[in-house]
Structure 1
Amino acid sequence: MKLYYAPGACSLGIHIILEEIGKPYELGQVALKEGAQHKPEYVAVNPKSKVPALDLGDGSRALTEFPAIAAYLALSNPEAGLMPKDPLGQARTLEAVDYVTGTIHPHAFTRQFRPNMFSLREEDHPKVVEQARGNAEKFFGVLDRIWAGETWVMPQGYSIADAALFFVQYWQVKRVGQPLPPKVERHYRAMLERPAVQRALEQEGLSA
């Protein structure tokens, strides 16, 4: 397998999952700031021009979209224990992953990092960023209130939901410099202690 990623992007969550599984894989860095995602070489891998993308190594089309890649890796490597065994537990796990990737990522962070995508008027960009910061506080607050597990997101234990949550936590702490609510903060600190997380951060040249 080969993971196409950008350092510190949402692909960090998939990178962590691969490290948790422990099977051989390759990394292919995509220089987003240089526009490499739009060049023919990468468009041939992922026509959506974004990361992550996972080449399964079997000649088939690369798998794209964070929830799909995460679910595939968990379900195809059950020995890693990254997905609950019961249907409701699996659904709750995917529910958490979707909240991160479909709500927190775009509305709390893409709005902050790329306000030009949400308003063509440059004078409106500070308001877009302000709204996004408020969204981040609200969304993390929701997670804190509905937290069902102990250390990890799911009561059944560590799962792909934890790897998904980590990348937005990392952005909030490291890129934005804002605090997390208590339960979410405790989770973030526990994630930083996991060897798989430490390896992924080191490989991407990121500080813990």
Structure 2
Amino acid sequence: MKFFYANGTCALGIHILLEETGAAYEPHRLDFAKQEQKSPGYLAINPKGKVPLFQFDDGSTLSEFQALATWLHLTHPDKRLLPADPLAAARAYELMDYTVGTVHSLGFSRISRPQNFSPAPESHEAVKAAGLATFEQGMAWLGSKASAEGFAVGDFSLADAALFYVEFWMAERLKKPLPGHLANHYARMKDRPSVQKVLKIHGFA
């Protein structure tokens, strides 16, 4: 299986889950600075032009954070990437979906790529400001919902990988303090061997 990623993107979270499960994968790094995600070769594999992406041995592909995380959970049940309790499992998905769908897509994406939300350069600062407000409000909500001890919903789960990449963006890219329980969660995640390995691969350790 091939794993397509770019350094420091949301693919951080899926990369961590790959290392947690021990799944066999062949890494393929795309350089976003060179717009490799928009190259004809990559678009032929993934017309969405984004990462993360799995390409299986039969040539088929799978994309989107939640789909990839769920596939890893279902194919590695022994790793217990979701709690056994139905409500706790649903809480993990609640945190993961809000992270990806709101905090990332509606918040940070406006900060990092305002041109995707408005073609007018004169409006980009306003787009960034709106994105920052959404991002910070979302992070505050995550900080109030994540567990005060342990990980997002108790033991390590899919949700923790999602939380980590937005925590990384806030702490390392925006240089802002993490709210609520996220500061402790971020520190616990950075102690995990999988996280340390992935950060090194992505050039951040």
TM superposition score normalised by structure 2: 0.94
Which residue is equivalent to 2:171?
173
Letter in 1 for 2:15: H
Contact 1:16 1:196 in 2 (8 A): yes
Q: Distance in 2 between matches of 1:102 and 1:83?
A: 19
Aligned counterparts, 1:1-208, within 5 A: 1-57=1-57, 59-148=58-147, 150-155=149-154, 157-207=155-205
User: Aligned in 2, Cα 1:183/1:148: closer, same or farther, shift over 3 Å?
Assistant: closer
Q: Distance in 2 between matches of 1:70 and 1:172?
A: 22
Comparing 146-155 and 72-81, the one that deviates more? 146-155
1:111-150: per-residue Cα shift (whole Å, max 9, x none)?
A: 0001112222222211221222222221111112223462
By how many angstroms is 1:23 displaced? 3.0
Contact 1:93 1:159 in 2 (8 A): yes
Secondary structure of the residue that 1:43 maps to in structure 2?
helix
TM superposition score normalised by structure 1: 0.92
Q: Distance in 2 between matches of 1:28 and 1:118?
A: 28
Comparing 194-203 and 42-51, the one that deviates more? 42-51
1:82-126: per-residue Cα shift (whole Å, max 9, x none)?
A: 112243333222221111110000122110001112222222211
Letter in 2 for 1:54: F
By how many angstroms is 1:53 displaced? 0.4
Letter in 2 for 1:93: A
Contact 2:14 2:69 in 1 (8 A): yes
Superposed CA RMSD in Å reads: 1.5
Q: Distance in 2 between matches of 1:42 and 1:67?
A: 21
User: Aligned in 2, Cα 1:182/1:88: closer, same or farther, shift over 3 Å?
Assistant: closer
State the percentage of identical aligned residues: 40
| Runs (5+) with no aligned partner, structure 1 | none
Q: Distance in 1 between matches of 2:123 and 2:48?
A: 28
Equivalenced residues, count: 205
Secondary structure of the residue that 1:63 maps to in structure 2?
strand
| Runs (5+) with no aligned partner, structure 2 | none
